[in-house]
Amino acid sequence: MRDVAPGSVAGLLSSFGLQFEQVAASQDIPGSYWGDDEAGLIGDRILARTDTPLHSILHEACHYICLDPQRRHSLHTDAGGDYDEENGVCYLQILLANHIGGFGKQRMFEDMDNWGYTFRLGSAQAWFEQDADDARAWLQKHSIIGPEQQITWKLRGHSDK
């Protein structure tokens, strides 16, 4: 988080109706599923500290984007979801990484691998490039991305944000 301008993250998240809240460095992050420095998710709020990894912030934001409206309404800490939705979340966070100046897709791949995301082909990049057809199809089915992998800037279940 400290490697990019906080405004760029907040601006990106606001495109989906999400609010970004910075938590003081000495505080626990409310709504964090993993604890430590990992981002929190409560309703339409993403909570993070300056030491929170961007992959964590984007991952939680993508859970919000990919949730069906009923689960989004009662969201607090654990987004839940199934295997296909989780793959869609991971794929979308990679696409969104290119919308944060100074971050980008390559850094996202590295951060995901360093954190410990696991993929059959051994890396986030190999999965994204060679094995993520199901994730792309899921995101397209829910109108989150278009046929050319362009982000629609829409939440699952909404014709607009």
pLDDT at 161 over 80: no
Q: Which amino acid is at 102?
A: G
* Phi, psi (degrees; rounded to nearest 5) at 40: -105, 155
Average pLDDT of the segment spanning 43-53: 93
pTM greater than 0.85: yes
pLDDT at 1 over 70: no
Q: How buried is 44 (Cβ within 10 angstroms: 0-12 exposed, 13-18 middle, 19+ buried)?
A: middle
Average pLDDT of the segment spanning 153-161: 80
Distances (CA, A) of 76 to 21, 73, 130, 161: 15, 9, 33, 20
What distance in Å separates the CA atoms of residue 158 and residue 154, rounded to the nearest whole number?
A: 6
41-45, 68-72, 134-138: range with lowest mean pLDDT: 68-72
pLDDT at 159 over 70: no
Average pLDDT of the segment spanning 4-28: 90
Q: Which amino acid is at 88?
A: G
Dump pLDDT digits (tens) for 125-143.
999 999 999 999 999 999 9
pLDDT at 29 over 70: yes
pLDDT at 58 over 90: yes
E strand or H helix that includes residue 79: none
What distance in Å separates the CA atoms of residue 76 and residue 129, rounded to the nearest whole number?
A: 32
Average pLDDT of the segment spanning 93-121: 88
